[in-house]
């Protein structure tokens, strides 16, 4: 197997605010291979977006990275053309522009945050392509139209000269995907790209992303709070809670053998349209507070399996079987017993 | 029957011009929707953005007057309660006096009355007995009282609890306002006693009365919004995407709360959502909407297990399920394009330009409903009985 595209080691991102320290990301580690897609799920405020913004070098004051490494495999700075691992946490901002948008692209939930309403789609795409691919304007325009076609914009050769507001929400999101892919990145990070869209449009975009990923061999990180979307698109799943990883495994394991109490309970409280459920088992309690949290399991206040040990020390993120990691003192042994059907 | 919606239409005019405004067309947001709902039951409305769900909810709540159609609550005609007097008169003429005059040309009064549904009989009997003028006077009498009663009996919960709760008022004041307004509590102390009770009922604490909305999490705020809707013990609650802004784990808490509350109040719910799983879980009946009309409706389990309409098929196959082993083979179901604008609707069946089953009759006339199962109706020519 080839080397991973991305290796994240014990990454921490904190925000110092007046009231104390928000430990938004509190020791996250994972690796990502070519053509692999990692689904990231978790409660709101669990640190999903901040983790990805950290990887993209987008953390601003009062945020900082007290610890951790983000190793990205790239030839961008190499002298002999061979790929090497660059630690993105150490990369100065002016050098980050050589990575962001060129080797790592990001798609946000609201396409308007990534599109400039004052410029036509052509203006925005051609500039990116010329900048990153070193081609003439004419060639860049040709490539841009081709990409718009790929993402399913009808009459791409004409519509490329329209402004963002002249497109529907779903089309705008596709344009953002086209722009993201225009630099042919090694890593694509999508943060809830379909949350605001209707299911039929979401299905179109998910299929599109799967196809493009296969075509370009892109590694992908897909953030969502929707477990069904994760089941649809991810190879590997990371479940976050309170700034930490609770569980990580391949997608089938997560859905069939959820071992962390949070994952397990989360799966038992989703209503399904394809099966009749007599009852739902909500997770009692409130989402965690991230301000100066104790160094304990963040799920502790809501966990029915908690024991004295959980109140004393934090469990490690441990490999319980090959490629299946869990952070818990009392993992669920024989999994999805209750609740499902 | 708690709620009857008959052939409801709501058109929004599109205006142009600076000095003289001209209506140049209509957004046909809701265009002929009928359904009914009993106490203690839930009717789910699903469909993609812009198909008219919220407009139906707001029209039933009488935040809009309908363009056409009738809304009966508890077998009382509420359609004209919030109209101007002249409009209300016009409504009553069109829906009662004209009907009576027209029908009794063809048949006798007693025959006409016999053929009427029970809930309309009283109105027409009164009209026949007392004549037009007395009928209108009677219907328009005490409109203020009728409105007050209506506002007490029908409540709504919106998607976004943050914008629907006044940030400058404590939870106690927010919740005691309707109690004082409707004279259910005589003073603030009495109101606060009731408020504390309902707070516990929705899973909050008595001491929360003195807090402000921003001091709560999103899920807790939605509990407050639910408490506000429930505090007057309404008969009908319209829930417009009440869980869409919430985390999965909190969403389940709110759904459970709504279910418990329903068995306590025996209220009817109109549950609006684009989340098909949530709708299936909570609803007894569902209506699948497309461009202002229902394309398929009936018993919830029946619809979800035996859906027939090509749009329902596309919608349900597009919605992912939390099971990775069920993915991959769905490409065939994906529908192309997007929902057309309600200003410029396709000819014939509105779904025809995107429908892979479309055949000859589809582009001519909008299809009628065919019964395809026990309380299961489909508006699609594929199901026209062969004769
Ligand atoms: N600039 C900032 N300053 C202070 N705190 C921040 C900042 N940005 C994020 N946070 C905090 O960091 C935590 C993690 O936020 P993050 O946006 O990563 O959550 P998330 O998992 O993406 O949630 P969601 O599902 O709601 O998008 C939250 O508690 C948030 O309030
Ligand atoms: N006050 C209004 N004036 C003009 N048009 C309106 C008004 N309210 C709604 N519409 C239009 O009517 C149609 C139906 O809107 P509605 O809000 O009922 O849809 P919805 O099904 O609730 O959608 P969503 O899922 O996005 O909430 C849309 O095309 C909308 O733009
Ligand atoms: S470590 Fe303890 S509190 Fe945390 S999830 Fe496991 S059992 Fe629950
Ligand atoms: S009536 Fe025709 S176009 Fe409409 S849904 Fe049925 S088959 Fe498709
Ligand atoms: Mg986020
Ligand atoms: Mg709506």
Q: How far from chain centre, in Å, is Cα B144?
A: 23
pLDDT-based confidence at residue A20 (cuts at 50, 70, 90): very high
Chain A environment of B325 (Cβ under 8 Å)? 252
The token pair that represents A161 in the structure block: 């000269």
Given CB atoms, is A286 within the 8 Å cutoff of chain B? yes
- Expressed as residue numbers, the domain containing B106 is 75-141
Residue A257 pLDDT greater than 90, yes or no: yes
Atom of ligand 3 nearest to the CA of A260: 5
What pLDDT does A2 receive?
79
Query: Given a cut of 90, is residue B128 above it in pLDDT?
Result: yes
Rounded mean pLDDT of A22-47? 95
Closest approach of A109 to chain B, Cα-based (Å): 14
Residue B164 domain-assigned? Answer: no
Tens digit of pLDDT for each residue in A259-285? 999 999 999 999 999 988 888 888 998
pLDDT value for A337: 44
Average pLDDT, chain B: 93
Give mean pLDDT, residues A222-248: 95
Q: Could you tell me the pTM of the whole model?
A: 0.91
Average pLDDT over residues B220-239: 94
Largest CA distance in chain A: 67
User: Does A219 share its domain with A255?
Assistant: no
CA B253 – CA A222 distance, rounded (Å)? 26
A333 has pLDDT over 50 = yes
Best of B324, B329, B333 to substitute, by most chain A Cβ atoms within 10 angstroms, is B324
Pair (A39, A100) in one structural domain: yes
Same domain for A230 and A116, yes or no, is yes
Q: Does B224 touch chain A (CB under 8 A)?
A: no
Whether B351 is in the pocket of ligand 4, judged by its Cβ within 6 Å, is yes
Number of independent structural domains in chain A: 2
Q: Are the beta carbons of A238 and A245 closer than 8 angstroms?
A: yes
Domain-located, residue B176: no
Any ligand 3 atom below 6 A from CB of A303: yes
Give B300's strand partners. none
pLDDT of residue A39: 97
| pLDDT, position A331 | 95
> Quick one: A230 and A254 in the same domain?
no
ipTM of predicted assembly, 2 dp:
0.85
Report CA(B28)–ligand 2 centroid distance (Å): 9
The pLDDT-based confidence of A339 (bands split at 50, 70, 90) is: very low
Confidence of residue A338 (pLDDT cuts 50, 70, 90): very low
Structure token pair of residue B239: 């829930």
Ligand nearest to the CA of B56: 2
Q: Would an 8 Å CB–CB cutoff place A192 in contact with chain B?
A: no
Q: Distance (Å, rounded) from C-alpha B288 to C-alpha B47?
A: 6
The b-or-e profile of B100-119 (16+ CB within 10 A means b, else e) is: beebeeeeeeeebbeeeeee
| CA-based nearest residue in chain B for residue A169 | B338
Q: Which residues neighbour A218 within 8 Å (Cβ) at sequence distance 6 or greater?
A: A34, A35, A181, A185, A186, A187, A188, A212
Using one digit for the tens of pLDDT, what is the confidence trace for B44-64? 999 988 899 999 999 999 999
Residue A204: which pLDDT band, with cuts at 50, 70 and 90?
confident
Domain count, chain B: 1
Q: Could you tell me if the CB of B52 is within 6 A of ligand 2?
A: yes
Contact B350, B340 (CB under 8 A): yes
**pLDDT of the residue at B126:** 96
* pLDDT for position B329: 65
A74 and A186 co-located in one domain: yes
- Read off the pLDDT of residues B270-321 as tens digits, 9 standing for 90 and up: 999 989 999 999 999 999 999 999 999 999 999 999 999 999 999 999 899 9
What tokens appear for A89 in the block?
């946490």
Q: What is the mean pLDDT of residues A168-176?
A: 84
Contacts of A286 (CB under 8 A, 6+ apart): A301, A302, B217, B219, B220
The answer to whether position B371 is within a domain reads no
With 50 as the cut, is the pLDDT of residue A296 above it?
yes
Instruction: Give yes or no for residue B49 CB within 6 A of ligand 2.
Output: yes
Tell whether B118 is covered by a domain. yes
Do residues A87 and A144 both lie within one domain?
yes
Strand order in the sheet with B376-378: B154-157, B236-240, B268-272, B42-46, B285-290, B293-299, B376-378, B370-373
**Residues whose CB is less than 8 angstroms from the CB of residue B336 and which lie 6 or more positions away in sequence, other chains included:** A204, B354
- Does A126 score more than 70 pLDDT? yes
Mean pLDDT of B63-77: 96
Which residues lie closer than 8 Å to B355 by C-beta, 6 or more apart?
B310, B311, B349, B362
Three-state helix/strand/coil letters over chain B: CCEEEEEEEEEEEEEECCCCCEEEEEEEEEEEEEEEECCCCEEEEECCCCCCHHHHHHHHCCCCCCCEEEEEECCEECCCCCCCHHHHHHHHHHHHHHHHHHHHHHCCHHHHHHHCCHHHHHHHHHHHHHHHHHHHHHHHCCHHHHHHHHHHHEEEECCCHHHHCCCCCCHHHHHHHHHHHCCCCCCHHHHHHHHHHHHHHCCCCHHHHHCCHHHCCHHHHHHHHHHHHHCCCCCEEEEECCCCCCCHHHHHHHHHHHHHHHHHHCCEEEEECCCHHHHHHHCCEEEEEECCEEEEEEEHHHHHHCCCCHHHHHHHHHCCCCCHHHCCCCHHHCCCCCCCCCCCCCCCCCCHHHCCCCCHHHHCCCCCCEEEECCEEECCHHHCCCC
How many A from CA of B278 to the centre of ligand 5? 22
Identify the pLDDT of residue B163.
Answer: 78
pLDDT at residue A335 tops 60: no
Last residue of a domain, one of A211, A234, A257: A234
Tell me the C-alpha to C-alpha distance, in Å, between residue B94 and each of A228, A326, B18, B70, B133.
49, 68, 34, 11, 14
**For B330-338, what is the mean pLDDT?**
74
- At which of A234, A259, A289 does a domain end? A234
Query: What are the backbone angles phi and psi of residue B55, rounded to the nearest 5°?
Result: -60, -40
Question: CA A193 to CA A178: how far, in whole Å?
Answer: 13
Q: Does A211 touch chain B (CB under 8 A)?
A: no
Most confident listed range (A68-77, A125-134, A168-177): A68-77
Mean pLDDT (chain A, rounded): 90
Task: Please tell me whether residues A272 and A248 are part of one structural domain.
Answer: yes
Residue A75 sits in the same domain as residue A142: yes
User: What pLDDT, on a 0 to 100 scale, did the predictor assign at position A340?
Assistant: 39
Pairwise CB contact (< 8 Å): A272 & B334:
no
Q: Which domain holds residue A62?
A: 4-234
Per-residue model confidence as pLDDT tens digits over B356-379? 999 999 999 999 999 999 999 999
Same domain, A337 and A225: no
Shared-domain flag, residues A195 and A47: yes
> Cβ contacts of residue B94 below 8 Å, gap of 6+?
none
pLDDT in tens, A40-74: 999 888 999 999 999 999 999 999 999 999 999 99
pLDDT in tens, A245-254: 999 999 999 9
A191, A226 contact by CB (below 8 A): no
Task: Give a yes or no: residue B13 inside a domain.
Answer: no
- pLDDT over threshold 80, residue A341: no
Q: Is B67 on the interface with A (CB under 8 A)?
A: no
Q: Is residue B301 part of a domain?
A: no
CATH number of residue A160's parent domain = 3.40.50.300
| Cα A294 to ligand 3 centre (Å) | 14
Name which of B153, B180, B178, B154 is nearest B166 in CA terms: B178
Decide if B205 is inside a domain.
no
Tell me what pLDDT residue B328 has: 62
Six token digits for residue A117: 């309403």
Highest mean pLDDT among A25-39, A163-177, B5-19, B317-331: A25-39
Q: Are residues A224 and A254 in the same domain?
A: no
Q: Which residues of A touch B282 (CB under 8 A)?
A: 271
B positions 254-293 inside 8 Å of A (CB) = 255-256, 274-282
- Whether residue A69 is found in the same domain as residue A211: yes
Q: Residue A155 has what pLDDT?
A: 86
pLDDT band at A213 (very low <50, low <70, confident <90, very high): confident
Report the pLDDT averaged over residues A228-243: 95
Q: Which of A200, A201, A228 sits opposite B321 (nearest CB)?
A: A228
């Amino acid at each position: 197997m080839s080397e991973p595209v991305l290796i994240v080691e014990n990454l921490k991102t904190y925000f110092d605010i007046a009231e104390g320290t928000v430990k938004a990301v509190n020791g996250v580690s994972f690796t990502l291979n070519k053509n692999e897609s990692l689904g990231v799920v978790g409660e709101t405020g669990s640190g999903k977006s901040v983790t990805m913004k950290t990887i993209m070098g987008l953390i601003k004051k009062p945020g900082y990275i007290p610890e951790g490494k983000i190793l990205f495999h790239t030839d961008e700075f190499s002298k002999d053309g061979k790929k090497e691992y660059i630690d993105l946490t150490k990369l100065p901002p002016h050098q980050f522009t050589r990575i962001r948008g060129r080797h790592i692209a990001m798609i946000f939930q609201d396409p308007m945050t990534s599109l400039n309403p004052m410029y036509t789609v052509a203006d925005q795409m051609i500039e990116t392509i010329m900048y990153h691919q070193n081609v003439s304007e004419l060639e860049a325009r040709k490539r841009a139209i081709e990409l718009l076609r790929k993402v399913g914009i009808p009459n791409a050769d004409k519509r490329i000269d329209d402004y963002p507001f002249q497109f529907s929400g779903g089309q705008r999101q596709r344009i953002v995907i086209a722009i993201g892919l225009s630099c042919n990145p090694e890593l694509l990070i999508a943060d809830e790209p379909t949350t605001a869209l209707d299911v039929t449009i979401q299905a179109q975009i998910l299929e599109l992303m799967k196809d493009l990923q296969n075509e370009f061999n892109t590694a992908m990180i897909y953030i969502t709070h929707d477990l069904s979307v994760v089941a649809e698109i991810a190879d590997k799943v990371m479940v976050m809670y309170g700034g930490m990883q609770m569980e990580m495994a391949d997608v089938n394991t997560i859905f069939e053998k959820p071992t962390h109490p949070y994952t397990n309970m989360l799966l038992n409280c989703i209503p399904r349209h394809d099966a009749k459920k007599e009852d739902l088992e909500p997770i009692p309690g409130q989402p965690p507070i991230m301000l100066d949290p104790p160094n304990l399991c963040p799920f502790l206040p809501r966990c029915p399996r908690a024991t004295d040990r959980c109140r004393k020390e934090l469990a490690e993120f441990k490999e319980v079987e090959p490629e299946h990691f869990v952070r818990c003192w009392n993992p669920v042994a024989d999994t999805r017993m209750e609740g499902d059907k | 029957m708690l709620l009857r919606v008959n052939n409801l239409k709501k058109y929004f005019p599109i205006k142009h011009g600076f000095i003289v405004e001209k209506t140049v067309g209509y957004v046909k947001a809701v265009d002929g929707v009928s359904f009914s709902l009993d106490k203690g039951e839930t009717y789910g409305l699903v469909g993609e953005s812009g198909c008219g769900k919220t407009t139906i909810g707001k029209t039933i709540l009488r935040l809009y007057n309908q363009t056409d159609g009738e809304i009966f609550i508890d077998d009382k005609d509420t359609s004209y309660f919030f109209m101007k007097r002249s409009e209300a008169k016009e409504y009553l003429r069109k829906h009662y006096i004209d009907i009576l005059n027209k029908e009794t040309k063809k048949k006798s009064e007693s025959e006409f009355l016999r053929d009427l549904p029970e809930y309309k009989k009283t109105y027409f009997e009164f009209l026949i007995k007392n004549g037009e003028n007395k009928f209108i006077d009677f219907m328009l009498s005490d409109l203020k009282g009728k409105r007050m009663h209506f506002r007490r009996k029908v409540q709504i919960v919106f998607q976004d609890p943050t914008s629907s709760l006044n940030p400058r008022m404590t939870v106690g004041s927010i919740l005691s306002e309707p109690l004082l307004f409707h004279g259910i509590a005589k003073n603030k102390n009495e109101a606060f006693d009731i408020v504390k009770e309902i707070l516990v009922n929705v899973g909050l604490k008595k001491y929360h009365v003195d807090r402000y909305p921003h001091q709560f999490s999103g899920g807790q705020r939605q509990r407050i919004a639910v408490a506000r809707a429930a505090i007057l013990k309404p008969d009908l609650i319209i829930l417009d995407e009440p869980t869409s802004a919430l985390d999965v784990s909190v969403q389940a808490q709110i759904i459970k709360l709504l279910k418990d509350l329903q068995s306590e109040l025996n209220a009817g719910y109109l549950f609006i959502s684009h989340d098909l799983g949530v709708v299936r879980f909570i609803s007894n009946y569902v209506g699948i909407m497309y461009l202002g009309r229902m394309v398929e409706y009936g018993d919830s389990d029946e619809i979800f297990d035996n859906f027939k309409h090509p749009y329902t098929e596309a919608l349900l196959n597009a919605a992912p399920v939390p099971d990775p082993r069920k993915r991959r083979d769905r490409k065939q179901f994906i529908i192309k394009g997007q929902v057309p604008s309600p200003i410029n609707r396709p000819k014939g069946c509105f779904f025809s330009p995107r429908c892979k089953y479309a055949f000859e009759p589809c582009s001519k006339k909008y299809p009628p409903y065919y019964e395809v199962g026990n309380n299961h109706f489909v508006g699609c020519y594929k199901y026209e009985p062969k004769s």
